[in-house]
Structure 1
Amino acid sequence: MSAPSKVIPEDAFNREETVQNYIQSKPRAMMDIPVRLIIERLRQIGKVHQRSGCLLDVGCGSGKSTRLLAKNFQHTIGVDPSAAMISYAIASDNDMAGVEFKVANAEKLPIEDSSVDVITAMFVVHYTDLAKFIPECKRVLKPGGIALFYWHQISKILSAEDDALPVIDGPVKMMIRQLLEKAREMSHPSFHTYELHQTQFDAISWEKKSREIKELEFALDSQWNLGSWSRFYHNLPVYQKVRESGVNPLSELVQAVKNTWSMQDRDSDDIKIRVVYTTVMILLE
């Protein structure tokens, strides 16, 4: 991988409208669950102690997940290439001591050598140039430090109204494949398969690495419905880029859900859903 992905246009997350839409449409569970899983895993391997050590959160975005992680560390640094996102993170400061935010790319971290105990990156690794990002991780980590990369992708949609209705899984995977295939055509060869994590895992050069894959149903609030779910994904820059090419697999999926459940005449906002995600965690020790 010789160049960073261009799936997300350079200015995508510097557009105020994009930033606000993304922040407002993202369900809290999308932050809470990944943070919980990460902290649980860090505790299992003895990397979380009561408010001690230094955490670096790469691709921190609006900083909300960063602050949740920061509750477990003495010093936390969030970095993101989007100046608009970092501005939002700083403006949303809740006076939590020991947290700072910086504009920076994953491939060139403004961090001192051997100064970080834990690196986290959520929904970020597949957008980086791993040939540059991984050496940066090694440079800034203290001896014995670890990096933990996380992402998830939807795998099933279930009815929140009637358990007897069919589980939607095949159309979901087809949508993801369409998105990744179109993204690959436009940008980077790493977007070539539904099993994106396999590509990234194989490409990481690290002495001790492991990968954990689970299916989890996200416990979302009562407002989570087919309409709000689809609006969230519509606001993702990668999806906006794909739609520019005339491909709209998300709309096809929404219609497939309605057809499968015989709800063609119902408004998407009136169809309550449960969502199962495949979560992927890569641990570098």
Structure 2
Amino acid sequence: MSARSKFNLANDFDTEDTVNKFIQTRPSGLIDIQARVIIDQLKQLRKTDHKSGCLLDVGCGNGEITRLLAKNFHHTIGVDPSFPMISKAIGPDTKCPEIEFKVTQAEELPIEDNSVDVITGISMLNYVDLQAFIPECKRVLKSGGVALFYRDQISKMLSAEDDSLPVIDAPVKLMIKRLLENAREMSHSSYHTHDLHQIQFDGINWINKSRIVNEIEFAHPSLSTLGSWYRFYSHLPFYEKVAESGVNPAAELVQSVKENWSMQDRDPDDIKIKAVYKTVMILLQ
């Protein structure tokens, strides 16, 4: 069985229960920041005139970020291979004709040729067949259109209570390393690289492409404690699959944080944190 057939985005979110857990634990503040980073980049490219323009958001999930991006476009289309995700997305937007959601694979976009001004995608490039997806992007984009793909990954953890406490860096890297190693063994296509889309970037056949890397410090009430951060990670479908093999690197990181900060006796929900995320955007023009 190939990596692509064993695990893919649709299978990760193929039940309503899985989708509900993801939505309930995903921090809204992180969603806001992801949307802001993308919009800021599109503004620099002068691609956010809400009176005109069509946006295609690929791998849109339940549409939360799609709706934030849609405020900058005349018409928006969100596509995702997961039926439960699209069902959630359609619910709030039954009376919003400027946004439409469709269940489809990224490699077979039900979009007319030369009809889209901007394509966006968040944490989805590793799930697609680039050899089929990139030609689809070229087909649907108008002349002068752009595609912007975003991904982030936690890189550091800081205390939100005491600036003198050490930055948690090496344990975070160890957690990511262990996750990726176990994901590779399971042939999961989403977490095959430490370098956030570098392999995908190298494999994209596009004349004018660039890779933009930044770090963002993130502190928000919806992800402000060690406990809420742990629940977010541990309820990701891919993480649950890894944990089935007896590996729980997020729990190990929680213990390491408590030890480094001499907080062994405190409940993780009472330990306030700030997280630093490494963000990467691939821009195709």
Give TM-score scaled by structure 2 length: 0.95
Partners of 2:223 and 2:27 lie apart in 1 by 10
After superposition, the CA RMSD in angstroms is 1.8
State the percentage of identical aligned residues. Answer: 63
Q: Hey, what does 1:23 align to over in structure 2?
A: 23
Q: Hey, what does 1:33 align to over in structure 2?
A: 33
Residue 10 of structure 1 deviates from its aligned partner by: 4.5
Residue 90 of structure 1 aligns to which amino acid in structure 2? I
Q: Hey, what does 2:172 align to over in structure 1?
A: 172
1:268-283, aligned counterparts within 5 Å?
268-283=268-283
Q: Which runs of 5+ in 1 are unaligned?
A: none
Q: Do the aligned residues in 1 keep the contact of 2:151 with 2:196 (CA within 8 Å)?
A: no
Residue 271 of structure 2 aligns to which amino acid in structure 1? I
Q: Hey, what does 2:160 align to over in structure 1?
A: 160
Q: Hey, what does 2:14 align to over in structure 1?
A: 14
Question: Once the two structures are superposed, what CA deviation does each residue of 1:182-216 show, in whole Å capped at 9, x if it has no partner?
Answer: 11121157744321321121111111000110111
Q: Which runs of 5+ in 2 are unaligned?
A: none
Residue 49 of structure 1 aligns to which amino acid in structure 2? D
Q: Hey, what does 2:253 align to over in structure 1?
A: 253
Residue 143 of structure 2 aligns to which amino acid in structure 1? P
Given the superposition, is the C-alpha separation of residues 190 and 272 from structure 1 closer, same or farther in structure 2, using an over 3 Å criterion?
closer
Q: Do the aligned residues in 2 keep the contact of 1:61 with 1:86 (CA within 8 Å)?
A: yes
Question: Once the two structures are superposed, what CA deviation does each residue of 1:45-66 show, in whole Å capped at 9, x if it has no partner?
Answer: 1111133110000000010110
1:1-285, aligned counterparts within 5 Å?
4=4, 6-8=6-8, 10-93=10-93, 95-187=95-187, 191-221=191-221, 224-285=224-285
Give TM-score scaled by structure 1 length: 0.95
Partners of 2:140 and 2:28 lie apart in 1 by 30
Residue 281 of structure 1 deviates from its aligned partner by: 0.6
Given the superposition, is the C-alpha separation of residues 284 and 6 from structure 1 closer, same or farther in structure 2, using an over 3 Å criterion?
farther
Residue 111 of structure 1 deviates from its aligned partner by: 0.8
